Amino acid sequence: MSESPSEASGAQPDPNTPPPEAESAATRSADGVRAPEAPAPAAPVASPQSSAGRPCPVCGRDWGSGIYCQFCNAVDGLPRDVRLATVGRRFAGYLLEILLIIVTLFIGWAIWSLIVWSRGTTPGKQLLGMRCVYLATSVRAGWGRMALREFVGKFLIMSVISLFTFGIGPLILYFMLLWTKKRQELWDMVADTIVVHDPRNELASRSSAVPA
Ligand SMILES: [Zn+2]
């Protein structure tokens, strides 16, 4: 690799299409810290570089302008069968999470969480085949990133927001994925993650999306 790692990362900026500032900022900020091996562009879904006007390599329809296909939810740089999780699946995950907390008297759910965070998932997500992917590297989130997402982003920050909005803020913020570009929640932005549906566990290993 002769190029600098930040240049070779999955989401290439294109001179014609200015990428959303969040995307490029995330790629830049995180690259220097981690990922000595830059994410290979040879990822399964050949990235339609400047997405606009390009056909989706998976379904053939117009990809749209995001990091995922607007029709089939295939995600730039991830295996073909991995899709950005739909809004319905995300909300089903929240309901399942609540159910699991009740059924396991919280403690079971908490222990379960601490274990599966290392695989980039949570109890509810695990049962629905969902996983968190770290945007800067296109591999699944590790334990530390999940702790940042779940504990700092979802628990600590939301508790503070709740305090200052008399409990209303979090109710609204849970719907944030409806209007953000990558279906991200506030805690996804904190941890720089997206949530994908990975029915075949193709992202179970940290290196699966980036063949060495
Ligand atoms: Zn598609």
Tokens of 130: 């969902």
CA of 138 to the centre of ligand 1 (A): 18
* The model's pTM: 0.75
Cα-to-centroid distance, 170 and ligand 1 (Å): 32
Q: How many CB atoms lie within 10 A of CB 61?
A: 12
CA 70 to ligand 1 centroid distance, Å: 7
Question: Residue 139 phi/psi, 5° resolution?
Answer: -115, 165
Question: How remote is the CA of residue 33 from the centroid of ligand 1, in Å?
Answer: 32
Domain extents in the chain: 21-197
- Provide the pLDDT for residue 117: 97
**89 alpha carbon to ligand 1 midpoint, in Å?**
18
pLDDT of residue 205: 83
pLDDT of the chain, 212 residues: tens digit per residue: 444 444 444 444 555 555 444 444 444 444 444 444 444 444 578 655 554 579 999 999 999 999 999 999 999 999 999 999 999 999 999 999 999 999 999 999 999 999 999 999 999 999 999 999 999 999 999 999 999 999 999 999 999 999 999 999 999 999 999 999 999 999 999 999 999 999 999 998 875 444 43
Q: From ligand 1's centre to the CA of 54, what distance in Å?
A: 10
Ligand 1 center to residue 67 CA distance, Å? 11
Task: Write down the pLDDT at residue 199.
Answer: 96
pLDDT score, position 178? 97
| Residue with the two structure tokens 């949570």 | 122
| SS3 labels along the chain | CCCCCCCCCCCCCCCCCCCCHHHHHHHHHHHCCCCCCCCCCCCCCCCCCCCCCCECCCCCCECCCCCECCCCCEECCCCCCCEECCHHHHHHHHHHHHHHHHHCCCHHHHHHHHHHHHHCCCHHHHHCCEEEEECCCCEECCHHHHHHHHHHHHHHHHHHHHHHCCCHHHHHHCCHHHCCCCCCCHHHHHHCEEEEECCCCCCCCCCCCCCC
Cα angle value 193/198/200 (rounded, 5°): 150
Rounded distance from Cα 60 to ligand 1 centre (Å): 6
Ligand 1 midpoint to CA 63 (Å): 6
